[in-house]
Amino acid sequence: MPTTQEPTFGKGDLHTLKVSWDRVKRTIQREVSSQLQRRSTARYQQTDDRIFDSYIDSYALAYAWGTPFQSAYRELGREILDDVFNYEKQVTTKVNKEQMYFAMAINAYRSNDEINTLTFWELACRQHRRTYPNAKAQSLIEKLDLHFTSLVTSIEESHQNLKILIKLRGRYKSLLPSFRETLLSLEAVHQTEFLAAGIRNRKVILWLKHVNHLHIITVLAQELINLLCILVESHLKEKLCPGVEATFGSLLQRYVPPKLAAATPNIIATLFKQYPSTAKADFNASFLPLLKVVRRGILNGDSIKAHILYGAFMVRNKSLHQCDLSFSYLRRKATFEDTIGLLFAAVAVADSF
C-alpha cells in the first residue's frame, strides 16, 4: 500500500540541487535575453551563434557528467527556443538558431531519442543553409555521416547484428554492404526512409531480444516491415523502370529477370510456382521454407538475389493489407527478426541493379 507520509529521503540534497539548478537556469536565460536585445535586426546573422554560448558552454559541462542532467537541459533548451521565437515575432526578423538546434540534437541523442535527434539535426542544417547560402550544397545524410557519426554507428551496430545478415554477409559480402554504405548510395528521396528504418530497427530489435509477445512491439515491428516493403518496391521502380507504373509482381516478372545471369532466366517464374503466397494458408506454408533457403546461404549470387526479392514481395503482399498475428513470420521472435533482416537485404539487392 502507498504511504501517506511526507517523503523525506534525500530531501535536503534534492532541495540544494534544485536551488543550484534554478540559479544556473536564470543566469543562462538572462544572458540569452541580453544577447538577443543587443543584436541588430538583420536576418540570419553569422554572429547569432554567440547568442547561445551560455547554454552550450553550460551543457557541455553537464554532458560530461552523464544523463541525470539531460532532461533539465532539454526543457531549458525548449524554453530558450520559445523566447527566441517570441523575439522573432516582436522584431519581425529571423535568428540563426543552428547552434541551438545542434545542441538539442546532441541532447536528444544522449537521451536515446533518435527521432528528435534527427528532427533537430535537420533544423540545424536548414538554419546553416539560410545563414550561409553560398556554401557548398551537401545533403542532410552526408552532413549527418560527417558530423554525427555516433548516431549512424549505433544504427549500424543494430543492423549488423541481425542474424540473417551475419549469415549472408559471410557468403555474399559484396552483395550486402554495410548500413552506412547502402544509406549513402541511395537516391536522396529514399535515404531518409532507410535511415528511419534503421532507427526503428534499433529500437525493435532491442525489445525483441528481451521481451516476448508484447503487443506494442509487434505493432512497431510491423510498421518497420511495412516501411521496408514500400522502400524495396519504390527503389526497384527507380532502378529498373523510372516513371513507369508497375506493381511489385510485374517488377519481378518483367524487369528483374534481364538483370540476372543467363543461367537463371526463369528463376523468378520458378519461385512464383514453388512458393505460392496469394492465400494466407499458402503464404504460411511457403514463406518459412523460402526464408530457410535464404538463411542457409547456399545459392549463387543471382539466385540469392531472386530469392530475397521474392521473399520481400511475399511479405509486402500480406503485411501492407492487414496486421494478422497468425502470419507465420509473426509467430516467433527469431523468424520476426529474420524477416526484418531479409527486407534490409532486399533494399541492398534492389540497390545493386
What pLDDT score does 265 carry?
63
Q: Are 205 and 333 in contact (CB under 8 A)?
A: no
Cβ–Cβ under 8 Å, residues 339 and 329: yes
The pLDDT assigned to 137 comes to: 59
How far is Cα 317 from Cα 282, in angstroms, rounded to an integer?
12
> What integer pLDDT is reported at residue 38 of this predicted model?
93
What is the reported pLDDT for 263? Answer: 58
User: For residue 1, what pLDDT is reported?
Assistant: 47
> Residue 212: what pLDDT?
64
Give the start-to-end residue ranges of the domains of the chain.
12-137, 157-352
DSSP one-letter string for 268-324 = HHHHHHHS--SSHHHHHHHHHHHHHHHHHT-S-HHHHHHHHHHHHHHHHHHHTT---
Is the pTM higher than 0.85? The answer reads no
Q: What is the mean pLDDT of each run of 10 residues along the chain (353 residues)?
A: 62 79 93 94 91 90 74 94 96 93 88 84 88 73 73 86 90 88 86 87 81 72 89 92 88 88 76 91 92 90 91 89 77 88 95 90
Could you tell me if 211 and 323 are in contact, meaning their C-beta atoms sit under 8 angstroms apart?
Answer: no
Could you read off the pLDDT of 151-203 as tens digits, one per residue? Answer: 788 888 889 889 999 999 888 888 889 999 999 888 877 888 898 889 888 88
